[in-house]
Amino acid sequence: MLRRALQSLFARFAADCVFFSGGLDSSIAAVLSGCKKGILVTLDRDGPDLRYAGEAAGAIGLKLIHKAVSVDEALAAIPEVIATLRSFDPAIPNDLAVWFALKEAKALGMSSVMTGDGADEIFGGYSYMAEIGDLEEYIRYLSQTMSFNSTILGRHLGVEVIQPFLDKEILDFALQIQGKWKIREEKGVLHGKWVLRRACEGLLPPGILWQGKRPLETGSGMTRLNAIMDTTISDEEFEDKRHSSGMRFYNKAHLYYYEVYRKTVGDIPPPGPHEQACEGCGAGVKAGRGHCRVCGWVKEAVQ
């Protein structure tokens, strides 16, 4: 019954291709919508997504287009991505993978790309969610506040980003499902998105269906850029700039993104009406929000 409901909801969506990592969300989006093409992005020809995407694509008859991005290409794209997002969030490697997928789609003459954005938020896909007391209320809060950079990047590049999991009907459907069906044990392993996995049994290989959460920046290999940035900034320079700037940097890569932000965007915007100052950079954060869109700082209380 759940599968039929999901298939009926997803059948309303069509895109030229799906941004495909072989992860659970993009695989479910592809198989339920019937999308026949997928774009996979990796740094060079490295990253766990290569294996998963190949297996999933073969199982569902998806034509897989692999865009291998060189380190030099990735580094060169950082200023435009930061300028477009007006953010130096340490999750920039994640955004780079999206950026190159959208650019590849446009280069191939495609006008729309489907993503799995929102599945983790509304179906309990993050590991920290298992520790939250009132999961249903927390997911309801996320459903009202979540936003995704793929939308901004797509608008900038002139590619429509289609996000089925953010559709009101699917959101409403997900909010009716109790938390105990979203995070649940299967064969002794605690899984988020349990109800989605069970609903799609038989449609995807077990290795794809029951895989663990693999962040996009890790699966694509883009996270390796952080190690490269570590070599360009000494410990002394990091400590000096951390103190002189007054910023709360997570790591050297965060400092690198900040310096690019200052060159491409400029000063950090001060808080506006009904906003509080971010603890990490001083930018305005809407009351009740725990995440700063400018620097990516997350309050410990809501992590």
The domains of the chain are located at 2-219, 271-303
* Per-residue pLDDT at 302: 36
- The DSSP symbol for 233 reads S
Say if CB 35 and CB 62 are below 8 A apart.
Answer: yes
Q: Is 291 left (phi over 0), alpha (psi -120 to 50) or beta?
A: beta
Helical spans, DSSP H, in 35-134: 49-60, 71-85, 92-107, 119-123
CA distance 128 to 137: 15
CA quadruple 215, 217, 220, 224: dihedral sign: negative
* Per-residue pLDDT at 300: 56
CA-nearest of 13, 16, 14, 10 to 159 is 16
CA-nearest of 239, 198, 211, 17 to 108 is 17
Say if CB 148 and CB 89 are below 8 A apart.
Answer: no
* Per-residue pLDDT at 299: 72
Give me Rg for the CA atoms of the chain. 19
> In CATH, what number does 2-219 get?
3.40.50.620
CA distance 283 to 174: 33
* Per-residue pLDDT at 28: 93
- The DSSP symbol for 231 reads T
pTM, rounded to two decimals = 0.93
Q: At residue 246, what is the residue type? A: G
Strand duo 37-43 + 63-69: pairing: parallel
Say if CB 16 and CB 112 are below 8 A apart.
Answer: yes
pLDDT tens sequence for the chain (303 residues): 678 888 888 888 999 999 999 999 999 999 999 999 999 999 998 888 999 999 999 999 999 999 999 999 999 999 999 999 999 999 999 999 999 999 999 999 999 999 999 999 999 999 999 999 899 999 999 898 888 999 999 999 999 999 999 999 989 999 999 999 999 999 899 999 999 999 999 999 999 999 988 899 999 999 999 999 988 899 999 999 999 998 999 999 999 999 999 999 999 999 988 899 999 999 999 877 778 999 999 875 333
Residue 243: which H helix or E strand, with range?
Answer: helix 235-245
CA distance 296 to 303: 12
CA 247 to chain CA mean position, Å? 24
Say if CB 19 and CB 113 are below 8 A apart.
Answer: yes
Tokens 């309303």 identify what position? Answer: 12
Distances (CA, A) of 128 to 23, 120, 191, 268: 19, 11, 12, 30
Strand duo 184-186 + 189-191: pairing: antiparallel
CA-nearest of 159, 60, 155 to 101 is 159
* Per-residue pLDDT at 118: 95
Q: 277 CB contacts (<8 Å, ≥6 apart)?
A: 270, 271, 283, 284, 285
